[in-house]
């Protein structure tokens, strides 16, 4: 079984932003956001958008997350 110190070092390497946030909390007593999201404007065919909105609503999906996922896939 790994010691706490070894696990902490692994965690710091995998997620440095979490530990930076904890350091900031120590001084400011406020936790910063980990994930910043940006609103964008797109031009999309009206019929496609209407159908996509309904598709997401029927299945309880988040439209932004789906678009983001497809953007990441496109960049691979």
Enumerate residues 6+ apart whose C-beta is below 8 A from 63. 52, 53, 56
Is residue 34 within 8 Å of 17, Cβ to Cβ? yes
Higher pLDDT among residues 30 and 48, named by residue: 48
The pLDDT tens digits for 9-46 are: 888 888 888 788 888 888 888 877 766 788 899 999 99
Q: Where are the domains of the chain?
A: 1-36, 38-76
pLDDT at 42: 92
């Amino acid at each position: 079984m790994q010691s706490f110190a070894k696990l902490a070092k692994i965690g710091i390497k995998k997620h440095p932003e979490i530990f930076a946030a904890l350091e900031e909390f120590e001084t400011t007593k406020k936790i910063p956001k980990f994930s910043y999201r940006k609103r964008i404007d797109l031009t999309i065919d009206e019929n496609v958008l209407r159908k996509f909105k309904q598709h997401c609503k029927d299945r309880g999906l988040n439209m932004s997350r789906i678009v983001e996922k497809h953007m990441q896939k496109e960049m691979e």
